[in-house]
Amino acid sequence: MRRVRSADLAARIQPVFQENFACLGELGAAVSIWQEGQPVLELHGGFREAQRESAWTKDTIVLFWSATKGLGSACLLHVLQEKEIALDRRVAEFWPEFAENGKGSITLAQLLSHQAGLAALDQPADVADYAAVVRALAVQKPLWPPGTAHGYHARTFGFLLDELVRRIDGRTIGGYWREVFAVPLALDIWIGLPNEENERVATIHAPKAGKTPAPPEFYKALATPGSFQGKVFSSPRGLQSVSAMNRPENRALSLVSSGGIGSPSALAKFYALLANGGEIDGERYFAPATLAQMSTTLDAGIDRVFGIPTAFSAGFMKDPPMANRRLFGPSPDAFGHPGAGGSHAFADPENKLAFAYVMNQMEQSVLPNEKSLRLVAALYHS
């Protein structure tokens, strides 16, 4: 794929973006596309809330849920790079308490690729009580033999990453993100939002009734009392309602699994760094070996939680070989991480492209939906 021209890309992307509002029920949204470390296209539209009183502007920021996992994974991988720690090292070497209940042999690679079997907790812990969640993870028995399968660690993943960064580096991921990436690169993203930034945040809205969720079997299981899927998405407990994340005190929590708030241009710029050989603005942040960890699939197959094919590298999602539709474009090297309801971000190192889409009207879909995937298709259609 050649260097894309802004005018050509706008001619393809803008009509599709506008159709998201006119035909697909989008409320407020924005898309950002970068290539070779430079912005190519930035679009925003709609409103920051359901009352349609405040227009979505270039300064609007929004919660992008699990797309935060990609940022958290990059922070941990950067720590490992700087400390020269290989992915085949055992988690318990850095977090001794983690070895309890048969977890002593779990490697960093298995943890980062959702193979550790720690997707749910048997010991109750509140999502806002970091210490309690970490204690519960330390004593948790794996829900399947580690390394034999993968299953999406929806809520526990961020705590696992955060504790490892704390043990190895001494900083929280929220702090590491700000000091190492966000401030030097002027990235308008927080994992733990300061109160003074709240006036710019779009209100996030739960999915509307009437649309078929995808995949339906997963959502049926999620709604079944006592189901494994229900346990995964309520471990740790608390903040179960979408509206709870509109409260400033909850936005302020450093939730690495699901609490990132920022702009699409900042999210795309960070992925542009990853797509551009680990370098941007004249500074190198990631070595080729670390970027290879992000782009190399560690496990693929039927996800124990979602019940559909998924694939993971070290902390990022990949398109599995058996995928009916590619989420991250045509390149097999592409990687990224979506967020609940429709947010989506990825890097395509082969074409040095980065893409980010954020919105505030969620859909019931565990993977990116038509609103972003139509834009991805238009990006690659010349």
- 180-204 pLDDT, tens digit per residue, is 999 999 999 999 999 999 999 999 9
Which residue, among 223, 244, 265, 259, has the nearest Cα to 355 in the 3D structure?
265
Q: What pLDDT, in 10s, does the model give residues 49-79?
A: 999 999 999 999 999 999 999 999 999 999 9
Q: What is the pTM of this model?
A: 0.96
Structure tokens at 207: 């999915």
In this prediction, residues 327-355 reach a mean pLDDT of 97
Peptide bond into 215 cis (omega under 30): yes
CATH of domain 62-369: 3.40.710.10
pLDDT score recorded for residue 4: 77
Residue 67 structure tokens: 């797309």
Domain spans, the chain: 62-369
d(CA 124, CA 52) in angstroms, rounded, equals: 39
Contacts (Cβ under 8 Å, ≥6 apart) of 42: 30, 31, 32, 33, 58, 264, 265
Sign of the four-CA dihedral 177, 197, 233, 365: negative
Q: Sheet harboring 38-46: ordered strands across? A: 38-46, 28-35, 353-359, 344-348, 335-336, 317-318, 309-312, 299-302
pLDDT tens digits, 132-190: 999 999 999 999 999 999 999 999 999 999 999 999 999 999 999 999 999 999 999 99
* Residue 5 CB neighbours (<10 A): 11
Per-residue pLDDT reduced to its tens digit, 276-321: 999 999 999 999 999 999 999 999 999 999 999 999 999 999 999 9
| For residues 259-286, average pLDDT | 97
Q: How far apart are CA 79 and CA 345, in angstroms?
A: 22
CB 341 within 8 A of CB 359: yes
